[in-house]
């Protein structure tokens, strides 16, 4: 007979102290809560939690150690029309579980209703449910320190734990697709050689494999289907016994930190894997449905859906907010992660039907002494009314800049009337961020991300090709701003292959030399393709994994070169905005910190900016106009740079500006050239030919 002590109402979840484990769970509607302990054979012992304080049910069990599998059964009202869905026949995961063992086998018993009659289903779900696991909080972090890389020096690599490592021949088979695979020296060496300072991991919170996908022979690959906000996903661990995947995750973070690489988690606090009113009863729904979910007012059997996934977490209740904040703090303090990218962040700010910049969630983040000090990245859209909110987040936040993505894509595919917008985006999008007192690094710049075409496919396909997803090619975005360069898909045409290679270099150079924080999608620097599939959410296969046996070595070396150029020159990573579009200089006026020039070498006029046909421009970046100090208070200076952009299909001659700007220029980058460029010296006023659809970068000494 297990001994039961009263225990404590805090902290929530299962907390091991060296002698036993305290269990605590919140439910305002519960009439009785049972803790269910499971042995390795699946035998269950039910223990009624004896104490309830502030709607937190709790007990301490001496002798219960890490590795113990458990769950809860909640006795309470079952009235779906009123928003109550308690059913003690359903085993429930602990919302605060630090580890989860197993997956759902999708037996009908995991649902709260009968499929045929729609009446209440009282079958026991325990044999078909994953189990929460007690974990050890003890881990030797050694001298681990967060790198704390400033935003303006950050280069983000958006990666998938499995996709990045699954086929890498330098990683042992048993470690591929795991946290240990990310921690392997082969992965870390690759990231550091590439110039990456932060790896942004697609969701690693415990998520659910969708029954509908498994029936099609597919799997949830991206992981935007969270059920455990404190637990690292168990399928990404090489060892899951006794909750060891927690230790493996910590070891991964420690190894990355040793190499100076930060860990940012893509987190999904806007919804859970329980779906809509027809979804399974796995955790929150059976514990306290009205507290955790936003329900339709006046018809509480249905869920508000701002996410396209069936439900939305109710961030207007203190318990839901507490869970989110507790989770964020846990990943920072216990797992040592360095920041978060919030999926559909606008959802967390919704009050009624508006996105409120002063919502409770943002207030809590700003006030929190731990969460406010790490990197906070918002995906600034959701599917609700007024869903796209780029530029509207508070001061602590940075944002995925979808306008940057769209504009850069349009410019390089030769769309007209884009030069003005392009100029704004590559200089930090001051129109979006300056009004709220933010800096250029508020803009997380990207051309591609997990959701959409890879870089290789962006220049190879006009249309999506998602037939493999089993939805008749109806899924995924149809308006991609892509260009196949003349032939759809794979080709042997040498000219088209050369053009595609050049376009890939254009995109990477634009990304790395723009003001803001660049984010590179894993494998884009290697020429990774998904065969035109722009929605790989269900493709846990070679289609989405990096193919390490077939990489574009030339593109990889080019990416390393341009990333190094960015890291070595503060001109490309300013902490402050330029002074804005300059007025025309008078005779003897000082050279501004930035100057936009026509190919003829003259300052851009309003007519030049408004010319819809214009597809080329040049920008001068003044190395003496940075007007910033470094970490030690010394003024930052750099070389001058001249960047010539030509999105036209024809070569254009660019006349270099006068010696007021620089005494001489040297070519440092040319995207029309695959190999290293010859460092040709050019004098002021001379002409530089920029090939069609290419960038030329020149540097000049700052005297």
> How far is residue 308's CA from residue 387's CA, in Å, rounded to a whole number?
12
Contact 107, 23 (CB under 8 A): no
SS3 450: coil
144-156 as b/e, with b when 16 or more CB fall inside 10 Å?
eebbebebbebbb
Distance CA 290, CA 6 (A): 27
Please, which residues bridge with residue 628 across strands? none
3-state secondary structure 457-519: HHCCCCCCCCHHHCCCCCCCCCCCCCCCCCCCCCCCCHHHHHHHHHHHHHHHHHHHCCCCEEE
Cα distance between residue 400 and residue 687, in whole Å: 38
Q: How many CB atoms lie within 10 A of CB 468?
A: 18
Q: Which two tokens stand for residue 474?
A: 């109806």
Residue 658 neighbours by CB distance under 10 Å:
11
- In three-state secondary structure terms, 679 is coil
The CA distance from 643 to 674, in Å, is: 18
> Residue 521 in 3-state DSSP?
strand
Contact status, residue 523 vs residue 469, Cβ threshold 8 Å: no
3-state secondary structure of 641: strand
3-class SS of residue 130? coil
414 with 649: CB under 8 angstroms?
A: yes
Sign (positive or negative) of CA dihedral 583, 585, 589, 591: positive
363 by DSSP, 3-state: which? helix
Residue 342 CA: distances (Å) to CA of 202, 305, 346, 450, 699: 11, 17, 9, 14, 38
* Token pair in block for residue 35: 């803790």
SS3 227: strand
Cβ density class 474-499: b for 16+ within 10 Å, e for less: ebbeeebbbbbbeeeeeeeeeebeeb
| CA–CA separation, 410 and 419 (whole Å) | 10
**How many CB atoms are closer than 10 A to CB 316?**
14
DSSP assignment, residue 605? Answer: P
Burial of 414 (0-12, 13-18, 19+ CB in 10 A): middle
Locate 666 and state its tokens. 């040297």
The residue annotated as part of the active site, out of 200, 274, 343, 421, is 343
Q: Per residue, what are the HEC states of 131-192?
A: EEECCCCCCCCCCCCCCCCCHHHCCEEEECHHHHHCCCCCCCHHHCCCHHHHHCHHHHHHHH
- Asked if 343 is an active-site residue, the reply is yes
Backbone φ and ψ for 253, nearest 5 degrees, come out as: -60, -45
Using alpha carbons, select from 87, 117, 109, 97 the residue that is nearest to residue 285. Answer: 87
The label of the residue with tokens 């919140």 reads: 26
Count other C-beta atoms under 10 Å from residue 537's C-beta. Answer: 23
Dihedrals phi, psi of 375, to nearest 5 degrees: -70, 130
Q: Which of 274, 300, 379, 525 is catalytic?
A: 379
Q: Which residues are catalytic?
A: 343, 379
């Amino acid at each position: 007979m297990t001994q039961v002590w009263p225990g404590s109402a805090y902290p929530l979840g299962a907390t091991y102290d060296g002698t036993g484990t305290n269990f605590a769970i919140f439910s305002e509607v519960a009439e009785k809560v049972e803790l269910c302990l499971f042995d390795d054979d699946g035998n269950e012992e039910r223990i009624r939690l004896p104490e309830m304080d502030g709607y937190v049910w709790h007990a301490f069990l001496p002798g219960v150690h890490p590795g113990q599998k458990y769950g809860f059964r909640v006795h309470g009202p079952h009235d779906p029309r009123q928003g109550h869905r308690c059913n003690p026949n359903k085993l429930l995961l602990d919302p605060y579980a630090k580890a989860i063992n197993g997956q759902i086998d999708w037996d009908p018993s995991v649902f709260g209703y009968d499929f045929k009659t729609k009446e209440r289903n009282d079958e026991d779900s325990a044999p078909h449910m994953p189990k929460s696991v007690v974990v050890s909080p003890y881990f030797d972090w050694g001298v681990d320190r967060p790198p704390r890389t400033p935003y303006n020096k950050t280069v983000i690599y958006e990666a998938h734990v499995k996709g990045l490592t699954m086929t890498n021949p330098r990683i042992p088979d048993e470690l591929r697709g795991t946290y240990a695979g990310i921690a392997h020296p082969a992965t870390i060496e690759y990231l550091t050689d590439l110039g990456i300072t932060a790896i942004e991991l697609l969701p690693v919170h415990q998520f659910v494999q969708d029954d509908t996908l498994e029936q099609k022979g597919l799997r949830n690959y991206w992981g935007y289907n969270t059920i455990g906000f404190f637990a690292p996903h168990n399928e990404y661990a090489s060892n899951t016994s006794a909750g060891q995947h927690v230790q493996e995750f910590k070891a991964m973070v420690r190894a990355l930190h040793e190499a100076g690489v930060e860990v940012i988690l893509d987190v999904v606090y806007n919804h859970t894997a329980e779906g809509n009113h027809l979804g399974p009863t796995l955790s929150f729904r059976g514990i306290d449905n009205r507290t955790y979910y936003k329900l339709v007012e006046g018809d509480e059997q249905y869920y508000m859906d701002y996410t396209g996934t069936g439900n939305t977490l109710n961030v207007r209740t203190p318990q839901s907010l507490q869970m989110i904040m507790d989770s964020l703090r846990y990943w920072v303090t216990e797992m040592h992660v360095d920041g978060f990218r919030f999926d559909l962040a606008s959802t967390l700010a919704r009050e009624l039907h508006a996105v409120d910049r002063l919502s409770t969630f943002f207030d809590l983040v700003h006030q929190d002494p731990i969460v406010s000090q790490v990197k906070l990245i918002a995906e600034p859209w959701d599917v609700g009314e007024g869903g796209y909110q780029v530029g509207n987040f508070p001061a602590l936040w940075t944002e995925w800049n979808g306008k940057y993505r769209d504009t850069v894509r349009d410019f390089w595919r030769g769309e007209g009337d884009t030069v003005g917008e392009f100029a704004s985006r590559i200089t930090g999008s001051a129109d979006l961020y300056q009004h709220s007192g933010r800096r250029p690094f508020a803009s997380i710049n990207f051309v591609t991300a997990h959701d959409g075409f890879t870089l290789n496919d962006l220049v190879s396909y006009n249309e999506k090709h998602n037939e493999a997803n089993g939805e008749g090619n109806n899924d995924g975005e149809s308006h991609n701003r892509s260009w196949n360069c003349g032939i759809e898909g794979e080709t042997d045409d040498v000219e088209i292959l050369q053009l595609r290679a050049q376009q890939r270099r254009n995109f990477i150079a634009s990304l790395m030399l723009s003001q803001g924080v660049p984010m590179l999608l894993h494998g884009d620097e290697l020429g990774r393709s998904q065969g035109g599939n722009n929605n790989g959410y269900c493709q846990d296969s070679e289609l989405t994994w990096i193919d390490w046996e077939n990489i574009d070595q030339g593109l990889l070396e080019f990416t390393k070169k341009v990333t190094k150029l960015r890291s070595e020159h503060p001109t490309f990573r300013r902490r402050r905005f330029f002074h804005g579009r300059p007025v025309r200089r008078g005779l003897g006026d000082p050279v501004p910190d930035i100057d936009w020039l026509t190919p003829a070498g003259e300052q851009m006029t309003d007519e030049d900016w408004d010319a819809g046909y214009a597809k080329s421009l040049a920008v001068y970046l003044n190395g003496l106009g940075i007007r910033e100090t470094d970490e030690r208070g010394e003024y930052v200076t750099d070389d001058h740079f001249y960047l010539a952009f030509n999105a036209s299909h024809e070569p254009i001659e660019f006349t270099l500006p006068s010696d007021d700007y620089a005494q001489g220029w040297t070519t440092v980058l040319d995207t029309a050239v695959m190999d290293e460029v010859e460092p040709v010296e050019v004098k002021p006023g001379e002409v530089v030919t920029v090939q069609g659809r290419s960038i030329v970068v020149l540097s000049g000494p700052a005297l």
